[in-house]
Structure 1
Amino acid sequence: MRSLVKSAATVLLATSASFAMAADPMSLMLNWTPTADHSPIYYAKSKGWYSDAGIDLKIEAGRGSGVAAQRVGSGGADVGIADLPTAMQAKGKGADLKAVMVIYANSPQGFYWLKSSGINGPKDFAGRKIGNPPGDASRLMWPAFAKKIGLAPTAVTFVNISPPAKVAALKSKSVDIISDFYNEHDLKVREFGADLGFVAWRSIGVNVYGNAFVVNGAYLAANTERIRKFVAVTQRAYAECVKDFSPCLQALTADVSGLSPDNQRDQWERIKQLMRDDATTKVALGSFDNARVKADYDLVKDLIGIDKPFEPAAMFTNEFLDQKLRMTAN
C-alpha cells in the first residue's frame, strides 16, 4: 500500500513538474518604465494567469515607443508596447511587426509649458526648447504636430531628458516645454497650478492611436496560439482593472518600487478616458477600427513619410480579441 501511495505521489510530482516546465518564455518590452497603464499586466502575472496559459512572461522596461517598435520588429523582443504611428514608421523601415490590441484608443500625447514664460499656445513654440527623451513618440511625431499648427518642424530645439526629470526641467526653466502623456496631468496641475499651460494633441486634430501591443511577425506566425492566449489574458486583465483598480495597483506597486499610489490612481482615471472610443466600447476592449488605422497611416505618410509603403490593414489584427469584453462607456 505504501509503495502504491509513494508511486502515486511520485507521478503527481512528476506531472506537476511537467506542467511547470510547460510554460514557454515570452519577452515583453514596455514603452517606458512601468506605471498605471501597465498595471493590468502585473496584475495578470501576479494572479498566475500567464503561467496558467503556458506563458512565462518576462517584462522589460522600455526607453520609448521607437525603441520598443525597433526591438520587436527585429526580433529582439517577442511582444512590445508602442505608439501605433511610431510602429507604422518602424514597419515602413522594414520592422516585422503587427499590432494585436490597442491600449490607448485616443492619443495620450500633450505638451506642457509655463504661461509665465510668455507661451500662450502651440504657435508660440517657435524658437523654444522641448524636453523629452530620444526615442519618445512625441519627438518622432513632432513633424505632424508642427504642420498641423503651421510651424516648420525645425522651429524648435529638442533637449534630451529622462522621463522622471521632465517636471524638474520645466520648473528650473532649463527647457521651455515638455511632452508627456495625459496620464500625468494631475501631477503637473498640483505642481504648477494656474501657471500651467497645456495642449492635448487630440484637441488640434492629431488624435492618432496611442500605445498598442505589437508582436514580431515571424514570432506571431510560429506561435499563433501562444499570442492568442497572451491577448486573451491581457484583455481580461485590462477589463478587470477597469472594474476595480485596487488589486491592480497593489500588484504594480508590489513589483515596481518608487511609485506613489495616489498618483497612479489619478493616472488610471485619465487612462480610462483614453481607452474609450466606438470600437473599444461597442466591438471589443482593445479593438482597432480599420478606418482610423488608415487615417493614422495617411497622416504619417503625408506629414512625416513612410519609407516603404504598405497596406494599413497589414498593421493590425483584431482576431485574438474577445468581443464579450468591452470597455465601459463611462
Structure 2
Amino acid sequence: MPPRRLLTATVPLALLALAATACGGGSDTTSTSDSGKKLDKVTLTLNWYPYGEHAPFYYGKQRKIFEKHGIDLDIRAGQGSQKTVQATGAGQTDFGWADTPAVLAGVDQGVQVRSLGVFLQTTPASVQSFAAQGIATPADLKGTTIAGTAGDALSKTFPIFLKKNGIAESDVKVQNTDPAGKIAAVISGKTDGLLGYASDQGPTMQDKAKKDVAYLRFSEHGLNFYSNGLIAGRKTLTGRGDLARRMATAVSESWTAAEKSPQPAVAAMDGASEQLPPAGVLAEQFRTTLTLLHTEATRGKAPGVNTEADWQQTIDVFAQAGLVKSAKPVEQYWDADNAMKG
C-alpha cells in the first residue's frame, strides 16, 4: 500500500469525534446556499486519505449536485474502512465510505451500521506484480512469494481464489507485510507481487518504479464480491431517513457525472489533501475504479443500485473466509428502503 496509508494511523479517532460534534444534533446542523436554499450539514468520512477512487465526491460537491439535494457536504479523510465503520456506527460521522468486508465484520460484532449501496460491485482485489515477472494466470503464482497482511480481507479471500483455480495454498508463499510496506517489498525484490486493490496500489507502484504493473484480478478468475460503498449508522437511518435517501441519490448522481467527465472529476480533487497522489496516479486510479461499478445483474443501472443476490454472494464468500462468524440476512447489512432504487 502507498505510504500515505501509514499516515492515516497517526490521526486520532478522537479528532473525528471532536470535528463531528455538530453533526446529527445541536443547533448548527444547517447552512444556507448562495441562492438562499436551506441545506443540511452532512459529514462523509472516507476509507482513507483521498485518492483517485474518491473523485466523484469532490466533483459532485464542485458541480453542486449535493447542494441540489439539500446537502452541504463535508468530506473527511479516514483511517481505514474498519475505523470508518466504527465511527459511522457511533454517530461520529453522518455517512461513511467503506469496504463491504469491514461492514460485514462490523455488523457481526454488533456495530449499528448498514449500507446504502455498494458502488464498487466488482472487487478490485488482485495480485499485482511487475509485468516482467510474467504472472499472467493463476498457475503462474506457483513458487512465488506474495506480500500480504495477515487477517485482512485480501489475505482471507486469497486461499479461496487459489482453490477456485486449482492452486494449493502451499504452492504460494504469502509473506506477512505491514500494509504500508507492500509496495516497497515488491520494488526491492523481496516479494514477487502483492495482494492489493487494482484501483489503488498498482498505479502508485508503477509511478514509483517506472515499470509496467500487471494485475491478476480475482473477479476475472472466478471470485467476485462487493467492495466499497456508502454506509450510515442507526442514528441517521432512524432519525433522518429522508436525508439518507437524498444522500444516496446525490452520491449516485455524482458518480454518474464523474463517469461521463473523468478528467474534470479528477481535477476537482486538487487541494483535497497534502497526501494526494500525483495527478497521473489519480487519473489511473479513477480509470480503474470505473471498471468496477457493476455486476452482470446491475449493468446499465445507476451507480449504487444493488441486488439481494449479489449481496448474498458477498456474505457467503466472507462467511467461507471466516471474516463473518454468524451470517445474517441481507437486510441486516443493506438498507434497501433508503438505498438507491433500480
Q: Same fold (TM over 0.5)?
A: yes
2:59 corresponds to 1:43:
yes
Residues in 1 aligned to 2:323 and 2:273: alpha-carbon distance in whole angstroms = 37
2:42 corresponds to 1:26:
yes
Corresponding letter in the other structure for 2:47: N
Specify the alignment match of 1:60 in structure 2: 76
Distance 1:142 1:60, change over 3 A: farther
Confirm or deny: 8 A CA contact 1:73 1:217 kept in the other structure. yes
Q: TM-score, normalised by structure 2?
A: 0.75
* Aligned partner of residue 23 in structure 1, secondary structure: strand
- Bigger proportion of residues as helix: 1
Confirm or deny: 8 A CA contact 2:125 2:197 kept in the other structure. yes
CA-CA distance at 1:116 after TM superposition: 7.3
Q: Which stretch of structure 1 is more off in the superposition, 200-209 or 69-78?
A: 69-78
Specify the alignment match of 2:305 in structure 1: 287
Q: Which stretch of structure 1 is more off in the superposition, 199-208 or 184-193?
A: 184-193
Confirm or deny: 8 A CA contact 2:225 2:314 kept in the other structure. yes
CA deviations on 1:273-310 (whole Å, 9 max, x unpaired) are 11133343344321112111111111211231523331
2:83 corresponds to 1:83:
no
Specify the alignment match of 1:229 in structure 2: 246
Residues in 2 aligned to 1:117 and 1:182: alpha-carbon distance in whole angstroms = 17
CA-CA distance at 1:218 after TM superposition: 3.0
Residues in 1 aligned to 2:249 and 2:33: alpha-carbon distance in whole angstroms = 25
**How many corresponding residue pairs?**
303
2:143 corresponds to 1:124:
yes
2:104 corresponds to 1:72:
no
Corresponding letter in the other structure for 2:222: G
2:282 corresponds to 1:264:
yes
Residues in 1 aligned to 2:271 and 2:78: alpha-carbon distance in whole angstroms = 19
Q: Which stretch of structure 1 is more off in the superposition, 202-211 or 229-238?
A: 202-211
Residues in 1 aligned to 2:33 and 2:54: alpha-carbon distance in whole angstroms = 30
Specify the alignment match of 2:13 in structure 1: none
Confirm or deny: 8 A CA contact 2:101 2:323 kept in the other structure. no
CA-CA distance at 1:115 after TM superposition: 7.5
Q: TM-score, normalised by structure 1?
A: 0.77
Specify the alignment match of 2:28 in structure 1: none
Specify the alignment match of 1:243 in structure 2: 260
Specify the alignment match of 1:183 in structure 2: 199
Confirm or deny: 8 A CA contact 1:111 1:199 kept in the other structure. yes
Q: Percent identity?
A: 22
Specify the alignment match of 2:19 in structure 1: none
CA-CA distance at 1:313 after TM superposition: 3.2
Confirm or deny: 8 A CA contact 1:64 1:137 kept in the other structure. no
Return the match for 2:232 from 208, 215, 222: 215
Distance 1:17 1:187, change over 3 A: closer
Structure 2: 5+ residue stretches without partners: 1-30
Corresponding letter in the other structure for 2:236: Y
Q: CA RMSD in A?
A: 3.4
Return the match for 1:103 from 119, 143, 146: 119
Specify the alignment match of 1:156 in structure 2: 174
Which of 1 and 2 has greater Rg?
1
Structure 1: 5+ residue stretches without partners: 1-14, 324-330
CA deviations on 1:204-241 (whole Å, 9 max, x unpaired) are 32211111111113321111111111111111111111
CA deviations on 1:35-74 (whole Å, 9 max, x unpaired) are 2221110112223333443333222222332332233233
Distance 1:294 1:271, change over 3 A: same
